[in-house]
Amino acid sequence: MRQPVSTISPELLQEWVCSAGEPDYRSQQILQWIHQSRAKGWVEMSNIPSKIQERLILEFTFSTLILQRKQGNAGMTQKFLWRLKDDQFVESVLIPASTSLYGETSDRFTLCVSTQVGCAYGCKFCASGLNGFKRNLEPAEIVDQVLSVERMQRGEGDRVITNLVIMGMGEPLANYTNLMHALNILNAKWSANIGARKITISTSGLAPQIRKLAKEPQQYRLAISLHGATDRVREQIMPINKKHPLSQLINAVEEYQSLKNGMVTLEYILIADLNDSPEQALALANIAERLRAKVNLIPYNEVDEFKWKRPTQTAQDAFIQNLEKFGAPTTLRREKGHDIDAACGQLRLRNEKELDAQRV
């Protein structure tokens, strides 16, 4: 079976090159084409002899992803729907600097990356979990989301993706081993060279895996999908809260915070008449203070299959004012992509509905 070229290590590639009777430097050239020059295919590798290109084609896959659909234009939020080898679909989202997720200026782009096909955690506001869990993504399917988008942006000049958020489809920490493998590659100088501090891993609250992540040598940022500041509210929309209630989650994040210092964000999707009360604002501010975390508010993007509504502008403003009054550092992420199925999993859901309709 062919192996993905995007996740082969420099050492193994060098062994392969030597076994093909080629000089050592050939492996550097191949890595350069894949990870730095953003080659769009084997034939672009002009300094690689054709007999080696032919062997590469026989033994390696160039990419594990095929672009099924793209929404949005350059300079705006863009969504990519990828078809995988088993005809499953996942999404990535490219977010320009002007909509930087945490209010920090970035001169380029953030890519939001998926880690699973579907999701087993069934949060009751999220399109990604609607059809359940299908499978974990392989390391190459995670790395290739970055490389594929980089290839498509090649005309822009230098590399464009400077930040990653591991927040697309799936629960990243439920695919821990493959995610760490992929991030080690994306973090490496010979690959995308994206610094660990530019990589945010988001979780719905898998407390044991947060503790494990705290012991990794890399200084990844951590984002917690909180979405409810008390167990009573959180349990209504996040079944994970029954297994790992807020007290457990907060203890695990405190441990992470003590080892990684200043690397935590609380994601809070603001949903009308569920979690937008002054009481929730106070409870959220207390958690943020305890964890020395920033709050990132996201007004809910409505999904047909769920009953929840986006709060009015007045209600959003009132919640922010309350958070500020209670001393919680807050940023508001106003999605720029309502017209492109902005909520995670919606593009895949729409694609699957269309494919089902064609089969009838």
Catalytic positions are 91, 344
Secondary element (H or E) of residue 270: strand 264-270
Backbone phi, then psi, for 194, in 5-degree steps? -90, 115
Q: Which two structure tokens, joined as six digits, stand for 299? A: 């007004």
Binding residue for ligand SF4 (CB under 6 A) from 9, 32, 59, 122? 122
| 91 contributes a contact to ligand SF4 by CB under 6 A | no
Part of the chain binding ligand SF4 (CB under 6 A), chosen from 3-11, 32-40, 115-123, 311-319: 115-123
Question: What amino acid is encoded at 345 in this protein?
Answer: G
Question: Judging by DSSP bridges, how do beta strands 161-166 and 133-136 pair with one another?
Answer: unpaired
8 lines the binding site for ligand SF4 (CB under 6 A): no
Choose the binding region for ligand SF4 from 5-13, 116-124, 186-194, 304-312 (rule: CB under 6 A).
116-124
Nearer to ligand SF4, 226 or 263 (CB): 226
CA terminus-to-terminus distance, the chain: 34
Name residues contacting ligand SF4, limited to 323-352 (CB under 6 A).
none
**Cβ 225 to ligand SF4, closest distance in Å?**
6
Q: Is 27 in the site for ligand SF4 (CB under 6 A)?
A: no
Give DSSP secondary structure letters for 210-250.
HHHHHTSSS--EEEEE---SSHHHHHHH-THHHHS-HHHHH
* Binding of residue 228 to ligand SF4 (CB under 6 A): no
Instruction: For residue 204, state whether it binds ligand SF4 (rule: CB under 6 A).
Output: yes
**Strands 116-118, 78-83: pairing kind:** unpaired
Told to check if 225 binds ligand SF4 by CB under 6 A, we report yes
Identify which of residues 119 and 263 has a Cβ nearer to ligand SF4 in the complex: 119
- The amino acid sitting at 24 is D
By CB under 6 A, the residues from 141 to 180 that bind ligand SF4 are 169-171
Given the DSSP bridges, would you call strands 78-83 and 66-71 parallel, antiparallel or unpaired? antiparallel
Among the listed residues 128, 191, 200, 209, the single contact to ligand SF4 using CB under 6 A: 128
Residue 16 gets which letter from DSSP? H
What is the b/e burial string over 308-336, where b = at least 16 CB atoms within 10 angstroms of the residue's CB? bebbeeebbebbbebbeebebbbbbbebe
Minimum distance of ligand SF4 from residue 102's CB (angstroms): 18
CB 118 → ligand SF4: shortest distance, Å? Answer: 8
CA angle, 80 then 138 then 124, to 5°: 60
Query: In this chain, which stretch among 121-129, 212-220, 249-257, 314-322 interacts with ligand SF4, using CB under 6 A?
Result: 121-129
Buried b (16+ CB within 10 A) or exposed e, 125-134: bbbbbbeebb
Copy the structure tokens of residue 142: 């995670």
121 binds ligand SF4 (CB under 6 A): yes
> Smallest distance from the beta carbon of 18 to ligand SF4, in angstroms?
43
Choice from 126, 192, 207, 284 touching ligand SF4 (CB under 6 A) = 126
Contacts 24+ apart (CB under 8 A), 100-106: 100/163, 101/163, 101/165, 101/200, 101/296, 101/333, 102/200, 102/265, 102/294, 102/296, 102/331, 103/331, 106/162, 106/163
Residue with Cβ nearer ligand SF4 (128 or 148): 128
| Residue 129 contacts ligand SF4 per CB under 6 A | yes
Element (H, E) at 61: strand 60-61
Closer residue to ligand SF4, CB minimum distance, 238 or 328? 238
- Under rule CB under 6 A, how many of the chain's residues touch ligand SF4? 12
Q: Which stretch binds ligand SF4 (CB under 6 A): 3-11, 118-126, 249-257, 322-330?
A: 118-126
Q: Which span (31-39, 70-78, 123-131, 295-303) binds ligand SF4, by CB under 6 A?
A: 123-131
Q: How far is the CB of 169 from ligand SF4 (least distance, A)?
A: 6
- 119 binds ligand SF4 per the rule CB under 6 A: yes
Under the rule (CB under 6 A), what is the footprint of ligand SF4? 119, 121-123, 126, 128-129, 169-171, 204, 225
